[in-house]
Structure 1
């Protein structure tokens, strides 16, 4: 049980962190009423929202402070007009620079808590004292050391509920319950924050976005094969391969209809085997396009001056079709929410299909800003 001093600490943290959160996001004046029968009650009354694996989760009132597992869920909250989360798993993988493409939307993560530090401790949850923890507890228990189911139960009882699902990848053997698509998860979170109208507006914009993509894509026979790898540095000799799945981290590539060069090869998948491959192995597959993750913090120019230049000068890598044809790009983030997905998909479309999309505008940034800011 928490002591009285701990309870007082929690109240102080909630009030202080909520006041200190920084963002240009405005609360807006959208109609936040809910027609979903999963939620009921006013902003100060308890209500329930269902999501796997937790089932029905009771929310004491619309959360003011929250933690997010990663940039996928953090971005959803921003899209719903909320203050940024007080903490995420790894702050350097929450790529807030994507908001630069949306006028009037920004997130300052300089004071954001990083939850992971060579493992995870229950103390960080007590210290932040968030109203809700938007993360899958099974991710914590199966991927990292330091916490037990008993710790999870105590945090739920003494601090706040858990609400989330590991949606970014479908490669984990322990995830034997329902997955959600990006917009299914987004809808769930909109009910937690009672921002269903913002979700509906985003869904409509996203449907138009996807229709524009489909109408501009070249025939399947003219679409390139891609190989997605994690490159841990600017001069790597080993690479972690990704076989595309239905997880949200590959959404832009699925929507763009590319062929996964690794899917039919004997190269393993990072999520299931934690395998690494060398450049000779990549050359045997030889995708039309090479996409390297781990470089989202770099600009396009920085990426080209470092990793791409290294590949062009490497005795093996220089033989790769993608390197010879200047079709080597950043592979996009592991974690993407609705705003991030729009930005990185448009970037990817213009890179992979320059002839088809060079003059096509896939979405209106001002329309996105209008939804976020409640205008």
Structure 2
């Protein structure tokens, strides 16, 4: 594979093609998490030729399951599928190169409106999912990098391994690991925490300083929040409505994926796991109010994708529960502890907003409507001013 890669470089020596074909070093290890050697035998190179060639500034970043991906320069245009990686790229100051997203409603870019001089116009992004995701859109966009776990494309979007390899060879490398949940049985390789995945992407873009600034501020915010938590937190149930207004819900456990980071940060109990309710992402079905009444969680966090107004949540969720013959008997409803849980996909920026939101919902007497992080400081990091 190394010899093939050298041939490609000789025939396509532009910056665009260097980025595009750099991922070829992983070869057949793309889906298995194997790491390529990144080059061939150079023992027969001519010394005089080495002296006249420009200095090689290539670099590589390794992440499972894609292995080692090589770059000549940081990619300029990039495509994530899920909002967690989109948010990571924005946090690294790379919003201008963001070209597309899997499902726009699942990318919480509206939260950036609270950050000075930080914005993403979702209407300008190509939506990759339209009753499926075909290869053609990847050819049309012709991005420098696909920030997607290739196994996600195969197991969730029904691509073949040949499809994945075709786009890698003809368009650009894949780089990513499905981190938002840890319930998929096909994900039998290493998982990364939110900040571990964020660090990997920062290495790809050459934005390690922004990553380090976010890491430091995240730790600072989390330490302050945790210092105010009670000795024991409530047991909560995270639910996604199956319809509006809801008569049933998809249950989501507080697992080890990045989608649940704010709940782990707040040290709450998982009412669903304690009652052996199967996670919806692991194949579990919906649960109704009778089942919820048997569980009777201390608090209910309702997750809804997209930009949800307070009025929408109050009228379609809270008021509905309070007026419902069965739901009105839930302790969480009677105690006024039903609150909005935010969205599934979060990178470092969205996580700070959702940590704040969750803290207010779980511990309203302690945090109220208080802002728990400095919007200007986050904006300064994004814009390279911190």
Give the match for residue 253 of structure 1.
263
Q: Does the 8 A contact of 1:67 with 1:134 survive in 2?
A: yes
Give the match for residue 137 of structure 1.
150
Say yes or no: does 1:62 pair with 2:74. Answer: yes
Give the match for residue 279 of structure 1.
289
- Structure number with higher relative contact order (C-alpha < 8 Å, ≥ 6 residues apart): 1
Say yes or no: does 1:47 pair with 2:59. Answer: yes
Q: Does the 8 A contact of 2:305 with 2:344 survive in 1?
A: no
Say yes or no: does 1:207 pair with 2:225. Answer: no
Q: 1:124 aligns with which of 101, 120, 137?
A: 137
Give the match for residue 30 of structure 1.
none
Q: 1:373 aligns with which of 353, 371, 383?
A: 383
Residue 70 of structure 1: how far off its partner (Å)? 0.9
Residue 103 of structure 1: how far off its partner (Å)? 1.9
Q: Does the 8 A contact of 1:132 with 1:163 survive in 2?
A: yes
Name the SS of the counterpart of 2:273 in structure 1. coil
Give the match for residue 33 of structure 1.
none
Q: Does the 8 A contact of 2:247 with 2:289 survive in 1?
A: yes
Name the TM-score, length of structure 2 as normaliser.
0.83
Q: Separation in 1 of the partners of 2:70 and 2:243?
A: 43
Give the match for residue 298 of structure 2.
288
Superposition pairs for residues 211-360 of structure 1, below 5 Å? 211-220=223-232, 223-358=233-368
Q: Deviations over 1:234-290 (max 9, x none)?
A: 312121101111100000011001110011113221111241111110111011111
Name the SS of the counterpart of 2:354 in structure 1. helix
Aligned-residue RMSD, C-alpha? 2.1
Count of residue pairs the alignment pairs up? 336
Q: Deviations over 1:304-345 (max 9, x none)?
A: 122111111110111111111111111221100000000111
Say yes or no: does 1:172 pair with 2:208. Answer: no
Q: Separation in 1 of the partners of 2:205 and 2:312?
A: 38
Say which is worse superposed, 276-285 or 53-62, in terms of deviation.
53-62
Question: In structure 2, do the counterparts of structure 1 residues 360 and 299 end up closer, same or farther at CA, with 3 Å as the change threshold?
Answer: closer
Say which is worse superposed, 359-368 or 86-95, in terms of deviation.
359-368
Question: In structure 2, do the counterparts of structure 1 residues 275 and 44 end up closer, same or farther at CA, with 3 Å as the change threshold?
Answer: farther
Structure 2 runs not aligned, ≥5 long: 1-11, 20-37, 39-53
Q: Separation in 2 of the partners of 1:354 and 1:43?
A: 58
Structure 1 runs not aligned, ≥5 long: 1-6, 15-38
Question: In structure 2, do the counterparts of structure 1 residues 274 and 130 end up closer, same or farther at CA, with 3 Å as the change threshold?
Answer: farther
Give the match for residue 152 of structure 1.
164
Say which is worse superposed, 168-177 or 111-120, in terms of deviation.
111-120
Give the match for residue 4 of structure 2.
none
Give the match for residue 119 of structure 2.
106
Name the TM-score, length of structure 1 as normaliser.
0.86
Q: Separation in 1 of the partners of 2:115 and 2:55?
A: 29
Q: Separation in 1 of the partners of 2:55 and 2:255?
A: 38
Q: Separation in 2 of the partners of 1:307 and 1:203?
A: 35
Question: In structure 2, do the counterparts of structure 1 residues 273 and 316 end up closer, same or farther at CA, with 3 Å as the change threshold?
Answer: same
Question: In structure 2, do the counterparts of structure 1 residues 150 and 219 end up closer, same or farther at CA, with 3 Å as the change threshold?
Answer: same
Name the SS of the counterpart of 1:263 in structure 2. helix
Name the SS of the counterpart of 2:320 in structure 1. helix
Q: Does the 8 A contact of 1:234 with 1:310 survive in 2?
A: no
